[in-house]
Structure 1
Amino acid sequence: MEKVTNVYLTDYIPTIYTSPRTILYTQNGKEKSSNIFAERNGVIIIVYNSTRDVLVLVKQFRPSAYIQQVAEDERYSEVDTNKYPVKLGVTIEFCAGLEDKHMTSEEIAREEILEECGYEVTVDQLEKIGVIKNLTETTGANSTLYYCEVTDAMRKNKGGGVDGENIEVIEMPVEEVITYASNSNYVPSPINFMYGLYWFLYHKYKKDLK
């Protein structure tokens, strides 16, 4: 991971990926409003390397995860990265990407696997799990989940992302992933990671797990 410095929390700066909006509506005769982020839909891919019995994961710094670890009264001046080390904002996730191109979700998933994880697959090697709703107070975007099994022979590059992405590929034995996800104190991964892991263990992983 690169060194992160000069961390500040500021007013929202618009981007092409999220748009802050307020929805006005009437529910049971009462006027209401809800602040949302109109996010793009995306894909998430569970990548399993059967050659070495590992799940192919990505590790990266997530600013939103980091700032939640900083005391609220210390977020609006420069954050002390010695007191709050960068590792507090590093997450482990499945390969994923936004549907931000004129491509099918399968084609985007295939591209993300190559760019982030370094494996070249075909769209017919992707098994669609389903579509889940990122249903929170602020976003209702959809994520299409896929499963893909790869081998060492399909590795074409080291991965790590494109266009300045700073992604580290983590190939973790399945038993280690289970131990990681079983930490009752804190698991620095999104809820879709937990869902995807349990889906994989229930539907695909045939070993006797104790």
Structure 2
Amino acid sequence: MNDISNIYYGPLPPDSPYVKPFRFHYTQNGKEKSWDLLKVHDSVSIVILNTSRQKLVFVRQFRPAVYHGLVCAEAGDDGRSIDMKKYPPSLAVTLELCAGIVDKPIPLIEIAREEILEECGYDVPVERIEEVISYRSGVGTSGSLQTLFYVEVTDGDKVPSGGGGVDDEIIEVAEYSVEEARKLLQKGNVLTSPPSFLFGVLWFLTNRVHANSPQQ
């Protein structure tokens, strides 16, 4: 995952299947205004609890946007001046919920089921997946919709061929006890995790910990 080299920046091609920038014009209280936005895919994320071992199942992956946020002050216009000894790629490996973009015309719960299998290796029917809440992310740039799901899995749901992502994805599965997850939310922590991860963990601790407490 950390074997990364030859980092540089380039202009966004107009045929990007993931991000389309545009300018939004409007009139507010008689004054003309504009705002630069990004059209991106909606997404799903899933809080996964392995009840066989009472472990929350997360994923780790290298995120270029996080890396750029860390190095942008010293990277130059094209990124070629990055000191990778000072800024190793491991700094931008995030801890996240299992998640994926909505890029096909199927129910969101089916997309969630696919992501659980592809990223974490658990094959579960949609009947066991619970839809929790939908909310808007990136409200200053994209306003895309993300839907949070919850599922309980067992060791018996694990399939040998699943997990780790598909195609060119490099994803590492990480398991945390409830107490380890709780410590992530302690005051003063600085994390590379996105807000959706923190929200998902907080939702679980608020709504599901007591239901599973006899096994903890």
Aligned ranges 1:96-111 → 2 under 5 Å: 96-111=99-114
Alpha-carbon separation, structure 2, partners of 1:166 and 1:47: 19
Per-residue deviation, residues 32-86 of structure 1 (Å, max 9, x unmatched): 1010111111100001001111110000000000111114142434122111011
The letter for the 2-side match of 1:151 is T
Indicate the larger mover: 38-47 or 73-82. Answer: 73-82
Q: Does 1:184 align with 2:188?
A: yes
| Corresponding residue for residue 137 of structure 1 | 140
| Counterpart in the other structure of 2:131 | 128
Matched, 1:33 2:37: no
1:142-157 pair list within 5 angstroms: 142-157=145-160
Q: Deviations over 1:137-190 (max 9, x none)?
A: 211000011000000000013500001100001111121122233261411100
Count of aligned positions: 208
Aligned counterpart, 1:23: 24
Partner AA of 1:24 in structure 2: H
* 2:103 pairs with 1:114: no
Give yes or no for the alignment of 1:42 onto 2:43.
Answer: yes
CA RMSD of aligned residues (A): 1.5
Counterparts of 2:75 and 2:138, CA distance in 1: 29
Distance 2:71 2:194 in 1: 18
- Report if the CA contact (8 A) 1:67-1:75 is conserved: no
Q: Aligned pair 1:81/2:88, yes or no?
A: no
Scaled by the length of structure 2, the TM-score of the pair is 0.91
1:17–1:71 distance in 2 versus 1, CA, 3 Å: closer
Matched residue of 1:131: which SS? strand
Structure 2 residue corresponding to 1:94, chosen from 94, 97, 118: 97
Per-residue CA deviation, residues 79-126 of structure 1 (Å, 9 max, x unaligned), is 221110111111000000011012110100000000000000111111
Instruction: Give % identity.
Output: 42
Uncovered stretches (5+) of structure 1, i.e. residues with no partner: none
- Structure 2 residue corresponding to 1:161, chosen from 141, 153, 165: 165
